[in-house]
Amino acid sequence: MLRVLAVDDELPALEELVYLLREDLRIEQATGASDAAAALRDLSRMLVAGERLDAVFLDIRMPGLDGLDFSRLLTGFAAPPEVVFVTAHDDCAVAAYELGALDYLLKPVRPERLAEAVRRVDEAVHRALPPEDADAERPAEDEMVPVELGGRTRLVSRRAVTHVEAQGDYVRLHTGDGSYLVRMPLAALARRWEAAGFIRIHRSTLVASAHIRELRFDGGRAAVQVGDELLPVSRRHTREVRDLLVRRFRTGDPREDGPGA
């Protein structure tokens, strides 16, 4: 059962959100805070009391400390709660994703969309539990990545991403129908997507293991076939890639690549 906190400076919106959260049977406790400063006080009190907080459902545009700044502060906690943004503004989706937000909901919030966000929180909390506290292992859910395209925000499915290349402070996501820039370090994305079966094959390349079709060796150099592209594998990562493909061959189960495969 989940324990969550809703934060919104507009009282009617806050009351509605808390009501909807309490209606969800997966939620044990849902409380509200009228601004980010009050939310920080509530969170500090809970930590001192040894209480658990699984997620914060957070507005962005608030007086004083806004939702994005509040989310940045949460990263300083040893075990920060998951963050779901609930906002009337669609122009902060990319920034929210860069901060590690689990979901991004637009107001007015539809109950079925909120239920989907709660499900994602439940999945994330479940994956974080020690094995003895978790149920049978379940596949990692898909993730929608907001990307800027021609001045508009588009959502790209993680499952559609075949590989990722580092480009300075950005990463380029490659899919079957194009590529997209996201402002995020490759190392951070590698950690975020590791449970979904993404592996490093080079210091500047991350690959969805489910999309690897072949491992080739030529003159001591290794490369993997991903779609129509042949991507070089560094010596440092060759053994890891080879062992992964051997396990896949032996089990015949694509899930051997990782929960998200």
pLDDT at res. 104: 93
For the chain, give the mean pLDDT.
83
Domain ranges (residues) in the chain: 2-133, 144-257
pLDDT tens string 36-49: 888 888 887 776 56
Residue 257 binned pLDDT confidence (cut-offs 50, 70, 90): very low
Q: Are 72 and 85 a contacting pair, CB within 8 Å? A: no
Residue 57 binned pLDDT confidence (cut-offs 50, 70, 90): very high
pLDDT tens string 131-172: 544 444 444 567 777 777 766 667 788 899 999 999 988 899
Work out the widest C-alpha separation in the chain, in whole angstroms. 67
pLDDT tens string 179-238: 998 888 888 888 888 888 899 999 999 999 889 888 888 877 889 899 888 999 998 888
Fold (topology level) of 2-133: Rossmann fold (3.40.50)
pLDDT at res. 134: 43
User: Does the domain at residues 144-257 carry the CATH identifier 1.10.10.10?
Assistant: no
